[in-house]
Amino acid sequence: MTARHAMLVIARAVFDAVEIPGQEPLVVAKDTGDEAARQWWDERVRAAAADVFERTSATWEQKLADWQAGTEVTVGKERLHDGGPRVEVARVQFPDGTESVVDPEAVRDFITTEFSTRYPQPTVAAQFADWREAVRIAELRTWIGWLFDGTEHVPVDLGLPASPFGYPIKEVLGCLDRLSAEGWQIVHVSEDRAAHLDGRAAHLDAEAAGETGVHTVRYLLSRAG
């Protein structure tokens, strides 16, 4: 009877884990976490953010108008520092009693900017910026598996075990048990090893830091055709 062969490949992998408050982490390709976070927000939050902006825009504009109307501006000549010349300035007193001095030609823009700084308008961009500050993107070092069977290759679910250092024995044994139940038997095992040149070495002792670790393991499998 002809035997069929397949190759199970277990390899290290690095992903971005996008941690959104109240949600399961999104595991995406390395260096695509920012893009994934933006896409998640666009698909699930942007419409609501646009609605918030539309509903509050008129109120914010009215508050700005009230702020401008309640701000007192006095133009005169003052010394800005001891011994300096007297120059024309606008002394601005805001409705809350605070004061500032500014170039008379920039008064209106200054009043508007000061209000916007103290009471930011909830634009869609501003809401996204607030949301993004709460999102954390972490590096996930894990292992993935592929089964190469003839012309097909399919991913093997290892559950993305968090494994900054060490082989995911339990997950691989579970995978091999499932394949064994399908009639596959191990014929040969080979591996690739690589030195740990990244930041993980800082957490190991001097002897372990110089060791090499398993990077890829290949299981040659066989079963009756």
The residues near 123 (Cβ < 8 Å, ≥ 6 apart) are 53
User: pTM for this one?
Assistant: 0.68
Q: If you average pLDDT over residues 103-113, what whole number do you get?
A: 92
DSSP string for residues in 81-105: STTPPEEEEEEEE-TTS-EEEE-GG
Between 24 and 195, name the one with better pLDDT. 24
Report d(CA 225, CA 1) in Å as an integer.
7
DSSP 3-state percent helix, strand, coil across the chain (nearest 5)? 35, 35, 25
Where in the chain are the domains?
A: 3-20+135-224, 42-128
The residues near 75 (Cβ < 8 Å, ≥ 6 apart) are 88, 89, 90, 91, 104
pLDDT at 170 over 60: yes
- pLDDT given at position 202: 36
Q: What is the mean pLDDT of the chain?
A: 88
- pLDDT given at position 50: 95
pLDDT at 108 over 80: yes
Q: If you average pLDDT over residues 56-73, what whole number do you get?
A: 93
